[in-house]
A and B are shown apart, each in its own frame.
Chain A
């Protein structure tokens, strides 16, 4: 059964620091991997989607990498700002099986990021 782990559970950094959030998954048979951001009491906002054939994706100050063979993804945030404070969630979509349903997103428990001014 696919399991997704995010370490650390919480992270506090000073403003301006570059940081890396980690995501690991146990089964390399994934279709894609998605990073989300969640603010307190709110829904999830999609940040980046990486297809299984891709190695990385970039959006502004965010860069996500994927190493399927080792079951790892990282989210790099450059020049962090207090507005980046949120919980970051990683989710994998398993490869659909023949004759079966599409793989549904399986989530890690998230990393709560706090960026101090």
Chain B
């Protein structure tokens, strides 16, 4: 089955802890994205990558980091510098400028 797989579905973070969200795609798409969704705020772009070993900051990159070592994978690390990380995180991929497809999301909660 072709698609985008995000894991885990639910994640709990303690204060001061870094956590990593996984995103894998088998659609052979060049571009990958991370969005954050909060109630009433819509989707906001965290980071995006157009090509392996290259990525750019989105609108709310502070407190987050990413890597793109393989075309299929774009993991997102939520660092302790992110003061309000509780949110729903969505990963997407697309051919350059083409139709975007999303994963099922990871819900992160600070405990």
A binds B: yes
Apart from A96-B97, A105-B100, A107-B43: 11 A-B pairs, beta carbons within 8 A: A43-B103, A44-B102, A46-B101, A49-B99, A91-B43, A101-B56, A104-B58, A105-B43, A105-B92, A107-B42, A108-B42
> How far does the Cβ of B33 sit from chain A's closest Cβ, in whole Å?
7
> How far does the Cβ of B85 sit from chain A's closest Cβ, in whole Å?
18
**A43–B96 touching, CB < 8 Å:** no
B88 to chain A: closest residue by CB: A41
Partner of B100, one of A34, A42, A101, A109: A34
**B48–A104 touching, CB < 8 Å:** yes
Partner of A102, one of B41, B50, B58: B50
Point out residues on B near A: beta carbons under 8 Å: 4, 6, 31, 33, 35, 40-43, 45, 48, 50, 56, 58, 88, 90, 92, 96-105, 107
Q: How large is the interface on A (under 10, 10 to 19, 20 to 34, 35 or more residues)?
A: 20 to 34
Q: What 7 A-B pairs come out closest when comparing CB atoms? A: A44-B102, A109-B42, A43-B104, A43-B102, A107-B43, A49-B99, A43-B105
> How far does the Cβ of A92 sit from chain B's closest Cβ, in whole Å?
11
Chain A residue contacts of B101, Cβ below 8 A = 46
> How far does the Cβ of A62 sit from chain B's closest Cβ, in whole Å?
15
B56 to chain A: closest residue by CB: A101
Residue A32 lies at the interface, judged by CB distance under 8 Å to chain B: yes
Chain B residue contacts of A45, Cβ below 8 A = 102
Per-position 1/0 for A99-114, Cβ under 8 A of B: 0011111011110000
**A44–B99 touching, CB < 8 Å:** no
B54 to chain A: closest residue by CB: A101
